[in-house]
Amino acid sequence: MTDENARKEDTVEYISYDSALKLAKEEADGALSRSPSVIREYTSHLIGSRGKFIRAVSLLTCARNEEDLIHPNAVKMAASIEILHLATLVHDDVIDDADTRRGFPALQKKYGKKTAVICGDYLLCVALKLASSVTNRQDYLNMDTPDYMVRVCFGELSQHINNGNFDLSVYRYLKIISGKTAALFEASFHAGAVLSGCDMAEINKYKRLGRYVGMIFQLIDDCMDFEATESVAGKPVQSDFEQKVVTLPLIHTLKNLLGFKEKVRENEVNRNQIDEAVTNAGGLAYTRMIAKKYYNKYIKTMNGLDITEDKKKGLQAILDKAFRVF
């Protein structure tokens, strides 16, 4: 750090985690509610369905320094990544023709697909504007930061290309979700680590944590589509197969249940038969086993970090939220 940057840091007033999270929520909600009048009705509608802020929580948890305080830049970055995530959900609901999102009518259902697509694009721009409004931007631009949104887009595209591909391998599926879901979690952990002042070796550990927890979230979501109710999931369930999305529980079942792939390919099975086959073939147990492997990797990596007990508890809470039981 240069002397000039050091003087700038001396004037920064660091904040507590609780304050940072509160401010990040206010920043994100404000960005939605204060949109230009032509789009405000649509963005205000999204405030109620913006989710549990888990990516912002991840960023802010990783941003805690050795005194458990957080640089104020983390607030804007956390709000930015949540709005970025919201943009992907708006577009997902268009692709999936979803009726609801977290108990609220999906934007595309209430206002139409064209409006939803444009709003999703607008949210992406808002997220980028928020991220670029942080102080000392050059400090972060000079980092060798992966292009996470490219990975998210490629993951979504790969999933779409493989819709109805009943020969999809486990390896290929894990590659798809490493972009589609895990990339944005990795971005959250990465940004938080940078803001905490970590060196590159430590930053790489945080990136791995983000990737692991993102994989867990998606794998458990795969199970929820077969097991959970819509009220628990906060979104439509039993919908992946109807959308021709082939997920890990089904991949395992198609590989291990003799003759079942041919029946699925010929559209000779209904949803109840799919659910029964996945349960009997151990598809859900297999998926949770893979998720547990990522869980163990997360624990091992986390235990290798030199962090405060409060920060460790925060990282553990994120993991427990991902590897949830319902």
pLDDT tens per residue, range 143-163: 555 588 889 999 999 999 999
pLDDT band at 7 (very low <50, low <70, confident <90, very high): very low
pLDDT band at 184 (very low <50, low <70, confident <90, very high): very high
Residues written for the chain:
326
**SS3 of residue 104 by DSSP:** strand
Residues 50-88 have pLDDT tens digits of: 778 999 999 999 999 999 999 999 999 999 999 999 999
225 Cβ neighbours under 8 A, 6+ residues apart: 233, 237, 238, 239, 240, 247
- Alpha carbons 326 and 318: distance in angstroms, whole number: 16
Predicted confidence (pLDDT) at residue 142 exceeds the cutoff of 80:
no
- Alpha carbons 278 and 9: distance in angstroms, whole number: 55
User: In this structure, what DSSP letter does residue 174 have?
Assistant: H
Q: What pLDDT score does 4 carry? A: 46
Question: In the chain, what percentage of residues exceed pLDDT 90?
Answer: 73
Least confident window among 70-79, 94-103, 170-179: 94-103
Residues 33-51 have pLDDT tens digits of: 999 999 999 999 998 777 7
- Alpha carbons 199 and 285: distance in angstroms, whole number: 38
Whether 166 contacts 264, CB under 8 Å: yes
What is the token pair recorded at 67? 């005194």
Which residues on adjacent β-strands are paired with residue 104? 101
Shortest CA distance to 23 belongs to which of 64, 63, 84, 74? 74
Residues 257-274 have pLDDT tens digits of: 989 999 999 989 888 899
Q: For the chain, percent helix, then strand, then coil, each to nearest 5? A: 70, 0, 25
- Alpha carbons 312 and 233: distance in angstroms, whole number: 27
Whether 238 contacts 225, CB under 8 Å: yes
- Alpha carbons 129 and 137: distance in angstroms, whole number: 12
Rounded average pLDDT over 247-262: 94
Roughly what angle, to the nearest 10 degrees, separates helices 73-96 and 17-33? 50
- Alpha carbons 181 and 148: distance in angstroms, whole number: 10
7 vs 293, higher pLDDT: 293
Domains annotated for the chain, with CATH where assigned, are 12-140 (1.10.600.10), 143-326 (1.10.600.10)
- Alpha carbons 56 and 195: distance in angstroms, whole number: 13
Backbone angles phi, psi at 235, to 5 degrees: -160, 170
Residue at 311: amino acid letter: K
Residues 278-320 have pLDDT tens digits of: 999 999 999 999 999 999 999 999 999 999 999 999 999 999 9
> Dihedral angle at the C-alpha atoms of 179, 157, 127, 24, nearest 10 degrees?
-50
Q: What pLDDT score does 237 carry? A: 54
Residues 114-124 have pLDDT tens digits of: 999 999 999 99
Rounded average pLDDT over 13-27: 96
Kindly list the distances between the CA atom of residue 148 and the CA atoms of 9, 163, 183, 250, in Å, as whole numbers in the listed order. 28, 23, 6, 28
Name the CA radius of gyration of the chain, rounded: 21
Rounded average pLDDT over 215-235: 78
Whether 71 contacts 14, CB under 8 Å: yes
pLDDT band at 1 (very low <50, low <70, confident <90, very high): very low
